[in-house]
Structure 1
Amino acid sequence: MIYPINELFETIQGEGVYTGVPAIFIRLQGCPVGCPWCDTQHTWDKSADDRIAITDVLAKQQASTQFAEVSPDDILAQIQALGFTAKHVVITGGEPCMYDLRPLAAVLEAAGYRLQIETSGTFEVLTSPQTWVTVSPKVDMPGGYAVRADAMLRANEVKYPVAMHKHIEQLDQLLLDCPVQPGTTICLQPISQRPHATELAMRICRQRNWRLSVQLHKYLAID
């Protein structure tokens, strides 16, 4: 299996249950969902013209559509060569579940890493049983992809972006249509740190004993 890598870097996880944990991010290229507020729109399209070497990906100084095609063994080799010390690996995108992630999970877990996937829930989740799956379900997006019931059922964590009360209503309906496993963590994440969205998310979290995800990395101005 070969994966299109747009970015590979070490940082602090800024969202969800693992907020504050040192993490290695593997950002994959390609996503057809089309979320209007997406802050990684450069990962949407995958053109052969944008294929470059992994060394050039690692040298990028700004966001771009360029990506490298890399095997699981080579990804591990790059992580080790870069001297990253984090043991938590976040596979994101783009939409990582466009790809079968089981070969990559097998290699990284055998080397002692813990995996987390961040997905929109619009593709089947193919990964190891041990992977922490964060589903950030995208409802009624321009791409026209429906959130899958099997993806919601696999979620360890549901992280839902909110800006107004209708988004809470959408999440309520989604949880009725696509139930999650007992014990799944529900996080509300204010879109773009808007004060009204943050207040709404805090209020609903208090009412329902859900969890607030504040995108810590944006407040700290880090990747």
Structure 2
Amino acid sequence: MIYRINEIFQTIQGEGVFTGSPSIFVRLQGCPVGCPWCDTQHTWDIDPAQQVSVERMLSKSTASAEWAELSAQAIVDCFQQQGYSAKHVVITGGEPAMVDWRPLAELLEARGYQLQIETSGTFALQVSAQTWVTLSPKLDMPGGYLVRADCMARANEIKHPVAMQKHIDALDALLAQYPPAANVVISLQPISQRPRATELAMQVCIERNWRLSVQLHKYLHIE
């Protein structure tokens, strides 16, 4: 299995259940979902002209559409070569569920890593049984993809971006259509830290005993 990787870096997880955890992020290149508020739109297209060496990809200091091809073993080797100490690995995008992460999961889990995947829920998941699945359902997006019932059933965490009441209503409809597992964690994440969105998310989280995800990394001004 060969993965198209936009970047690999070590930082603090700023969202969801694992907020505050030292983490290694592996960002995939390629996503057709088309979320208007996406802050990584440079990862959407897979342009052959933007393929670069692994060394150049790792040395990027600013966001770009450049990407490199790595095997599962090469990704693990990269962690060691970079001297990363974190044992929590976050697969993000782009849309990670477009490819099979089981080969990487097998290598990582054998070495004591915990794997988390962040997905829109619009593609069939190809992950290990131990992988923590964070599903951020993308509803009525320009790409036209639908959230899948099997993704909802597999999710460990549902992290929903909100700005207005209609986003809460859309999540309610999705939860009614595809009820998640009883122990799933549901969190609301204000889009772009807008005050009205944050106030709405806080109110609903308190009413329903859900969690608030505030994108801590943006407040800390880290990647």
State the aligned residue count: 223
Q: Normalising to structure 1: TM-score of the pair?
A: 0.99
Matched AA of 1:143: G
Show structure 1 runs of 4+ deviating over 3 A: none
> Whole-Å Cα distance in 1 between the matches of residues 60 and 8 of structure 2?
10
Name 2:72's counterpart in structure 1. Answer: 72
Shift of 1:200: 0.3
After superposition, the C-alpha distances for 1:52-110 in whole angstroms (9 at most, x for unaligned) are 11110011111111100000001000100111000000000000000011111111111
- My pick for the range that moved more, 19-28 or 176-185, is 176-185
Q: Normalising to structure 2: TM-score of the pair?
A: 0.99
Shift of 1:18: 0.3
RMSD in angstroms over aligned alpha carbons?
A: 0.5
Matched AA of 2:56: D
> Whole-Å Cα distance in 2 between the matches of residues 6 and 110 of structure 1?
25
Shift of 1:111: 1.5
Q: How does 1:145-184 map to 2 (within 5 A)?
A: 145-184=145-184
Name 2:44's counterpart in structure 1. Answer: 44
1:185 lines up with 2:175 in the alignment: no
Instruction: Give secondary structure in 2 for the equivalent of 1:57.
Output: helix
1:92 lines up with 2:92 in the alignment: yes
Name 1:123's counterpart in structure 2. Answer: 123
Shift of 1:174: 0.4
Instruction: Give secondary structure in 1 for the equivalent of 2:117.
Output: strand
Shift of 1:167: 0.5
Matched AA of 2:144: G
> Whole-Å Cα distance in 1 between the matches of residues 144 and 193 of structure 2?
26
Identity %: 65
